[in-house]
Structure 1
Amino acid sequence: MQRHLLRAGAVALAGLLGAVVIPAGPAGAEPMCDRPVPPPACGDGGGDDPPPAPRDIPVHGTLDAVTYVGNAVRVSGWGIDRDSGSAPLVVDIYLDGAWKRTLTADTYRQDVADAYPSYGAYRGFDATVPAGLGTHQVCAWAISVVPAGAPNPGNPSLGCRTYTGVLAAPGNPRTISRAQDGTTVLGFKDNSVEETSFRVTITRQYWEPYTDPRWGQLYRAYYVDRQITVPAQAGTDEVTATTQTSGSDCRTTVTAVSGSFQSAPVSAGWC
């Protein structure tokens, strides 16, 4: 009987112990900060994201055209720097790698306004830059406005173009007057501003006899050129030159000259 009582008491005690409920941990227990990654509750305290770092907005624009106009080139194009707001873009012009002039892109360009209406039409540049004869390269560089704190990418290129400058040919060569003693006044139009002189070639016709087996003595023409140099003049205007000619002069040819450069020749006459 005693054994049965002891066994029953042990069973009852075990039942009581099994019914004990362990209280939950305190509310301040640490969250599981390794899931997910990054954990939403374990970051920088839930504050606002930092502002984005300053950055430079690329310039838009291009060098449209380069045209030789005599001792200079006319350059035209457009440009917009969004970082400069309403201020016009500044453009540097280089010739064969050497700086020549700084321009402001503030001339009217309706096509630019159509493409970028919020920036208006006064975003073009159109000006002349000193330049010489021969083949040369012209480049345009935008002077970029960089926000404070932003990395500076340097000044972007708006493009390069190559031109070949040639002397303009004189025009309208003619004989103005001829005296009985052969003194002749020649005239022509100066169309260039770079010439250092004009070369005037006067062609004279001569006849020489020769014998043909069938027809006997005949005559054939031959030609001799005589050249004179006429000094250059300022600007473009009519030029006159006085020389000695004869009734046998049959053609006058005028060429503008500047150092090793020369224009296309222009002629008048009947031979």
Structure 2
Amino acid sequence: MKRILAVGLALTVSAGLTVAAAGTALARPNCDVPDPPPACDDSPTEPTPPPMGSDKYPMGWLESWEYVGGAVRVSGWASDPNGGPVQVTVQTDVPPAVTRPANLWHVERNGFVGFSFTVPSSALAGVHTFCVTANNVPDGSQPVPEVAPLSCPQYRVVPAAPSGLTLSTGYQEGKRTLDVTFTDNSVREDNYRIDLSWLQTTPDDTPTDPGLPTTPPGGPSLPIPQPTWGAPIPTTEVGVARAVIYGTPDTGRRTWHFTHMPQAFVHVVVVSNEAGLTSAALSGGISTR
């Protein structure tokens, strides 16, 4: 009987202690005093600023590049303080972009941080730009740095040059003639140009044809003529005479027949114009004597 009473007393005391402890935890502080405790301060607090990110930018250098026939080869190095290998991306005007790891041995950097690879690029005539960037290696913190640009070089592709120049002379109605035949290899040209020049030692009595003007030394600037088949070449001045003919865009074998040619050695230059650029010149010469 004494044991039972002892257990009951212990349970009673324990329950009392539990209730007392709970009552203490739920009790509100007395704020109506001259010096209230800190718990009574209900003014708003400023949020804690986020920690500064430890993620670092990648770095590197495009050391060399070369354009060869529809492809660009790039070489250099890239590294990141957070780790590696760094992924290097090359974006040309031939999508998609190409990404490769910078994991080759680089002697000057004394580590496996080098890259060297080839990317398809445009072979069309014109000026083209490509960009090389090093991608960040994240360390898990915020903010994450963006990619690091290494370089954005430009290269130039000149129009395809004409080829296969053939020159022949003859007579037509007692006047000298010149046939200029060539192959136009440009498929996107704006036009092609035939330039004839010779040393005129005596005046010629051929009437001037405004369709194909010449520019004597010190003469005025003349308008661009329209293509005219079989038009006579005006040679009314003594000195260096010149005739410039602009042909409409075309591809393949082309022949121009010129009449009323002077008695002289005629220099011939043929070029293609495309995308604001001029091709390499196809040139030759022939005597009409």
Residue in 2 aligned with 1:113? Answer: 106
| SS in structure 2 of the partner of residue 231 of structure 1 | coil
Residue in 2 aligned with 1:77? Answer: 75
Residue in 1 aligned with 2:117? Answer: 125
1:245 aligns with 2:258: yes
Larger Rg: 1
Q: CA deviation at 1:266?
A: 4.7
| SS in structure 2 of the partner of residue 245 of structure 1 | strand
| TM, length-normalised to structure 2 | 0.48
| TM, length-normalised to structure 1 | 0.51
- What is the letter of the counterpart of residue 208 of structure 1? P
Partner deviation per Cα, 1:129-181 (whole Å, 9 max, x = no partner): 348766676432222131223541221121333x3636357366732555665
Q: Quick one: percent identity of the two aligned structures?
A: 18
Q: CA deviation at 1:264?
A: 5.7
Q: Does the CA-based 8 Å contact 1:81-1:144 persist in structure 2? A: no
1:262 aligns with 2:275: no
Mapped to 2, the partners of 1:222 and 1:153 lie a distance apart of 65
Q: How does 1:58-77 map to 2 (within 5 A)?
A: 58-65=57-64, 74=72, 76-77=74-75
Partner deviation per Cα, 1:69-116 (whole Å, 9 max, x = no partner): 68x673513344455645x61414378xxx96522235996xx43345
Mapped to 1, the partners of 2:103 and 2:168 lie a distance apart of 51
Gapped runs of 5+ residues in structure 1? Answer: 1-52, 210-218, 234-238
Residue in 1 aligned with 2:40? Answer: none
Mapped to 2, the partners of 1:57 and 1:256 lie a distance apart of 51
Specify which structure has the higher proportion of strand: 1
Mapped to 2, the partners of 1:196 and 1:69 lie a distance apart of 24
1:152 aligns with 2:144: yes
- What is the letter of the counterpart of residue 165 of structure 1? R
RMSD of Structure 2 on Structure 1 (CA): 4.6
Mapped to 1, the partners of 2:143 and 2:99 lie a distance apart of 24
Q: Does the CA-based 8 Å contact 1:255-1:263 persist in structure 2? A: yes
Q: How does 1:5-24 map to 2 (within 5 A)?
A: none
Q: How does 1:1-271 map to 2 (within 5 A)?
A: 55-56=54-55, 58-65=57-64, 74=72, 76-81=74-79, 85=84, 89-93=87-91, 101-105=96-100, 112-115=105-108, 119=112, 123-130=115-122, 138-149=130-141, 151-161=143-153, 163=154, 165=156, 167-168=158-159, 170=161, 174-175=165-166, 177=168, 182=177, 184-187=179-182, 190=185, 195-203=189-197, 207-208=202-203, 220=238, 223-229=241-247, 231-233=249-251, 240-245=253-258, 248=262, 250-263=266-279, 265-269=281-285
- What is the letter of the counterpart of residue 179 of structure 2? T
Count of aligned residue pairs for this structure pair: 196
Q: CA deviation at 1:253?
A: 1.3
Mapped to 1, the partners of 2:141 and 2:63 lie a distance apart of 33
Partner deviation per Cα, 1:22-46 (whole Å, 9 max, x = no partner): xxxxxxxxxxxxxxxxxxxxxxxxx
Q: CA deviation at 1:222?
A: 5.3
- What is the letter of the counterpart of residue 72 of structure 2? R
